[in-house]
A = this chain, B = another copy of it.
């Protein structure tokens, strides 16, 4: 999506940002999670230029995040629905919302997410699959994975670089 600017980077963060790192893209995806499906509705809610919205939707369809389906025959009308891959972006949205709530919302969170029926707060957490402990960056170590390039860089501690 970013003209593969990050292509030299064998990194899933960089690859994810190729698809969803472009301006407006994650807000389009956010609105899709709110039930928006039609071009006119995205356009009205986001207030972005129509040509940019057209471009972003086309790219998201090409990347497999949205599925474009016809909902009316005469005249032909299409809607955009999240695919399973698109749906898997929910944790990214929730994590961004959590950070914004914490650091960019002086009057408090504009919205809150509740577990339907249960009423519990929806939270995004990073934890150890082994022991279950909630983790901060300094608790993690980064190692080459199965998709690492042949000359993988030295493992570096994921928790380095903190001011605190």
Contact = CB atoms under 8 A, between A and B. Distances in A.
A105 to B, nearest CB: 5
A127 interface: yes
Given A113-B142, A123-B126, A124-B126, A92 B96 contact: yes
Given A109-B12, A125-B124, A104 B148 contact: no
A119 B137 CA distance: 14
Q: How large is the interface on A (under 10, 10 to 19, 20 to 34, 35 or more residues)?
A: 35 or more
Contact of A162 (B5, B9, B82): B82
A100 B161 contact: no
A40 interface: no
A66 B68 CA distance: 40
Interface majority SS on A: helix, strand, loop or mixed? mixed
Contacts of A11: 30, 97, 100, 110-111
Contacts of A82: 161-163
Nearest to A15: B104
A19 to B, nearest CB: 7
Interface of A: 2, 5-6, 8-23, 26-27, 30, 32-37, 47, 64, 66-67, 69, 81-116, 118-131, 133, 135-149, 156-164
